Structure 1
Amino acid sequence: MKIKKGKVRNQQLVITLTVDDEEIEKHLQRASVKLSSRLKIPGFRKGKAPRSIVEQLVGRDGLVEESLDEAVPDVVHKAIEEENIEVFSTPKVSKIDLQPKMTIEAVLALKPMIQLSNISGIKVKIEKEKITAKEVNKVIDQIRDQNGSWVPVKRPTKMGDLLTVDFKCEVGDKIILDHSAIDLLLDVQFEDNLKMPGLMKKMTGILMEKSKAFSIVLPTDYPEEDLREKKANFVVLIHEIKEKNLPNVDDSLANTIDPSVKDLKELKKKIKINLEQSAEKKWEQLFWDDYLKQIVNSSNYTVADLMVEQETDLLLSQQKKMIENQKIEFAEYLKQINKSEEDFIAELKEAADIRIKRSLTIDELLVHYEINVEEDKVREDLDKWKNQQGNTKVSEEQIMDEIRYSLKREKLLSQIIDNQKKSS
């Protein structure tokens, strides 16, 4: 195999490979076996027809086409090994010529170049959230709400009530909502989900077994374009009104929530500790994000376009999967956020570029601060992971690599925070 290397541009290299006939023959033979297993060839069992017979049926070009999926990556991989090239993403085959000899052109992403700024001069100024009695009482209120019970009442409806209601909505001659005896919570979240601002307020002040007719104007961002800014007419009939009966804030409530505490005072103390731990984790993440952002914005990077392209493709695939999981077509999602596909991908490309630079920066910082972790700790965390996850198809070595990297990042963050405290 002849290998021709182009000039390195922005840490990207193009190689051109001219493949020997002997190399091609190995792959043609494998392709023949595959085709023989798929095709019905009279007089032969599947997979048993000789290559000459298969080639008569599909022609040499057919064999070559069948071999490409396996032959091309194999040839490119061998060339990379032979030339001892360190690549940092999956090679991209940009051109294949079959005549007069098989010639493959592949784009390779080489190790990115990074020149970090003066990291000792990076200062992060982010205030840590202070946990007061107000935050603790918010949690207590949430707990009360979760432990409350719905009880029937005889009075006009108000916000926060749980209603059993007949509910109908029409725009012109078109019925867009029609429900009988459904449970409906008078909460602004419901109208936000329906894209019907003002709906909940219109449903207050109604007595049980009384109906009310009213109308609202649908907003400009209503999902169905032909109904935007149209008047929607409602008729509702209230069958039952319930309000939430909340438990008293006392030692009994505390013991119901957490039997390990003896009274309300101890519960509040425990809640405060949990909130402080959460605030600490949140602050650490904000600190880390700001620290990396400052370094990325002030450092110099040379990254192959291929790396950014492939990271963008990965992000796009992930985004599309998330959108599909919400039962929304990608084209419809773009309409909802008022963006073209080109603009959407451009934003992902920017995010991909930042992700790559952040990752490169972390790797450089791990080397700079000489961060290492004890293998006993890695093994200990692996055992915990196994107990939690059970059997998995992921290799133990891969899991250990991820654990090791995670532990190094934690240690790196602690050291950087300590350095900041000492210098402040």
Structure 2
Amino acid sequence: MKVTAEKIEGSKVVLTIEAPASVVDEALDKAYKSVVKRVNVPGFRRGKAPRFILERHIGKDALYEEAMKEVLPEQYEKAVEETKIEPVSEPEFDEVNFKQGEPLKIKATVYVRPEVKLDDYEELSVPYEVQAVTDEDVDQQISFLRERMASLSPLPEDQALEKGDFATCHVRGIEGGAFKPEVDQELSYVEAGGQYGFVPGLTEALVGMKKGETKEFPATYPPAKEGGEPRTAMYSVEVKECYRKNTPSDEELVKNLGKENLDEVKEDIRKRLTAMREDLARRVHSQKVEEAVLTKGSVEIPHVMIERREEELLRRFAERLQEANTNLDAYLSSTGKTVEDLRKDIHEEAEKDVRRDLILDAIADKENVEVPEEAVNEVMEAFARQMGRDTDTIRTTLQMRGALDSIVSDLRRLEVLKKLAVKAAEKAGTPLPLEVKKTEEVEQVDKDTAQEAQPAEEAKGVAEDAAAQETQVAPPEKDENPLG
């Protein structure tokens, strides 16, 4: 077998393959033995027709096509192995000389993994910034806990609702405004003076009312047409029940949380907030390093790699739609978009993803980065838990599907990112904390199958985690975004 690989443009390679005539003869013989068992030839039992009779019955071209179906991919794979190229696309067989008694000659064009020219990635400098936990932050969490543990008690019938009280009421639209609202509804636990948005002006109208009272109030709506005047509609509200919120005292709060004193509660909250902010800061820092890496390498990306990534992004988007009880067709219909419009929307993201992976792979090659076996095992265990199967079965299944190599590649890129993050933080004079959560690798290795933690959920999760540990912590307010 003779093979040459010629780079013709960008990352396109032409493979010229020549194999002895015996390869053609063997392929035709194998194709004959396969086809003759599947075809009924008049006058012969199945599998017994001579080859020349079979060729006359189905046509010589059909037999040759059957032979080439197997021999072309087989010879191509051998050529790839011999030339050590890394294809990133399916081959196009431009020229094929497949004749009995003659050497097999093939010309195949394929896109290969492009070469990356690395820049001074060692000079990356990205500060690691953590938002300090203040006394005000802790007090805010204490206030949240009081609200979470508050109870409602009925107000005496002669006592009016004050701001912050709650009411069960009946609201209906009435005549008297620009239009009559089609509203006739019982509402539970509406906060007087609160921000309830079902009917404009309702919460303000409740302040000062008592149980059994009825009041009419106006509600202002935007203009029906652009440039028009705001519209006013009228409503009637009848108060059915009134409640007052009772928040626990310090002693009750401490007791409910199973702590010795309020200082212990505050210290526990401070620790949890600090851990949360450090974790978020690490994630944000990693994202910034990832963005910076994109500037540290130049590469001409074959369009097939970007298109493949677009397909992956579209598939995941369709899966998310299914999880939301809809589908891609319904989404396209409601938005007036086409699949091509979606491709245009995600093209930049797809190109960015491929560029990042190529640059990280090049750095990994240069730095001889290896993936620890423990990291692979952690991913297998995470998948096993998620799917309710044992790790050996998961590993075997992934290997059979060719997915294990992809997972290891993702882990290798994460190893590179971790090393770059450490160096970038040191370069900026803000070293990363020593402790690294083991779950971060598992959560990020394969965004398609492993559940990835979201920053907003992390913030919210502080309260939930604390509740499980008997001390609850609130998520930060909207103006306290740990992501900056």
Q: TM-score, normalised by structure 1?
A: 0.65
The offset of 1:130, in angstroms, is 1.7
Pairs within 5 Å for 1:207-218: 207=209, 210=214, 212=216, 214=218, 216-217=220-221
Q: Which amino acid aligns with 1:80?
A: E
The offset of 1:178, in angstroms, is 6.0
The answer to which of 347-356 and 325-334 deviates more is: 325-334
The offset of 1:306, in angstroms, is 0.6
Pairs within 5 Å for 1:70-85: 71=69, 75-76=72-73, 78-84=75-81, 85=84
Distance 1:315 1:277, change over 3 A: same
The equivalent position to 1:264 in structure 2, one of 239, 259, 262, is 262
Distance 1:373 1:71, change over 3 A: closer
Deviations 1:326-381 (A, max 9, x none): 24454664687787754542231110111122222333344445545654x44874
Find the counterpart in structure 2 of residue 414 from structure 1: 422
Find the counterpart in structure 1 of residue 440 from structure 2: none
CA contact (8 A) 2:219 2:233 kept: yes
The offset of 1:311, in angstroms, is 0.3
Cα distance between partner residues in 2 of 1:317 and 1:149:
47
Deviations 1:31-89 (A, max 9, x none): 898x99xxxx9xxxxxx97698xx9xx9789x99x989x958x9446513333254354
Find the counterpart in structure 2 of residue 145 from structure 1: 147
Cα distance between partner residues in 2 of 1:145 and 1:418:
42
Find the counterpart in structure 2 of residue 324 from structure 1: 322
The offset of 1:13, in angstroms, is 3.9
Deviations 1:185-223 (A, max 9, x none): 5699874xxxx7xx44345313455365755546899xx
Find the counterpart in structure 2 of residue 224 from structure 1: none
Pairs within 5 Å for 1:50-69: none
Cα distance between partner residues in 2 of 1:152 and 1:418:
59
Cα distance between partner residues in 1 of 2:246 and 2:66:
71
Pairs within 5 Å for 1:6-405: 7-13=7-13, 23=27, 71=69, 75-76=72-73, 78-84=75-81, 85-87=84-86, 89=88, 91-92=89-90, 108-125=110-127, 127-153=129-155, 155-156=160-161, 161=166, 163=168, 165=170, 180-183=185-188, 191=197, 199-206=199-206, 207=209, 210=214, 212=216, 214=218, 216-217=220-221, 235=235, 237-238=237-238, 240-241=240-241, 245-248=245-248, 250-257=250-257, 259=258, 261-328=259-326, 330=328, 333=331, 342-372=340-370, 375=373, 377-378=374-375, 381=378, 385=382, 388-389=385-386, 390-392=388-390, 393-395=393-395, 398=404, 401=408
Deviations 1:248-280 (A, max 9, x none): 3525423423x3x42221221122122222222
Q: Which amino acid aligns with 1:266?
A: E
Q: Which has the larger radius of gyration?
A: 2
The offset of 1:148, in angstroms, is 2.5
CA contact (8 A) 1:169 1:232 kept: no
3-state SS, counterpart of residue 297 of structure 1: coil
Distance 1:217 1:379, change over 3 A: closer
The offset of 1:302, in angstroms, is 2.0
Q: Which amino acid aligns with 1:362?
A: L
The answer to which of 382-391 and 340-349 deviates more is: 382-391
The answer to which of 284-293 and 409-418 deviates more is: 409-418
Q: TM-score, normalised by structure 2?
A: 0.59
Cα distance between partner residues in 1 of 2:150 and 2:348:
47
Q: Which amino acid aligns with 2:345?
A: E
Cα distance between partner residues in 2 of 1:190 and 1:106:
67
Q: Which amino acid aligns with 1:354?
A: K
Cα distance between partner residues in 2 of 1:94 and 1:380:
38
The answer to which of 331-340 and 362-371 deviates more is: 331-340
The offset of 1:309, in angstroms, is 0.6
The offset of 1:11, in angstroms, is 1.6
Find the counterpart in structure 2 of residue 45 from structure 1: none
Cα distance between partner residues in 2 of 1:236 and 1:30:
83
Aligned residues: 385
CA contact (8 A) 1:116 1:299 kept: yes
CA contact (8 A) 1:251 1:262 kept: no
Identity of aligned residues (%): 15
CA contact (8 A) 2:371 2:412 kept: yes
CA RMSD of aligned residues (A): 5.5
Structure 1 residues not aligned, in runs of 5+: 42-47, 222-228
Distance 1:244 1:292, change over 3 A: farther
The answer to which of 278-287 and 174-183 deviates more is: 174-183
Cα distance between partner residues in 2 of 1:188 and 1:16:
76
Q: Which amino acid aligns with 2:141?
A: V
Find the counterpart in structure 2 of residue 225 from structure 1: none
Cα distance between partner residues in 2 of 1:219 and 1:3:
75
Q: Which amino acid aligns with 1:245?
A: K
CA contact (8 A) 2:194 2:204 kept: no
Q: Which amino acid aligns with 2:307?
A: E
3-state SS, counterpart of residue 201 of structure 2: helix
Cα distance between partner residues in 1 of 2:224 and 2:98:
62
Distance 1:381 1:5, change over 3 A: closer
Q: Which amino acid aligns with 1:83?
A: V
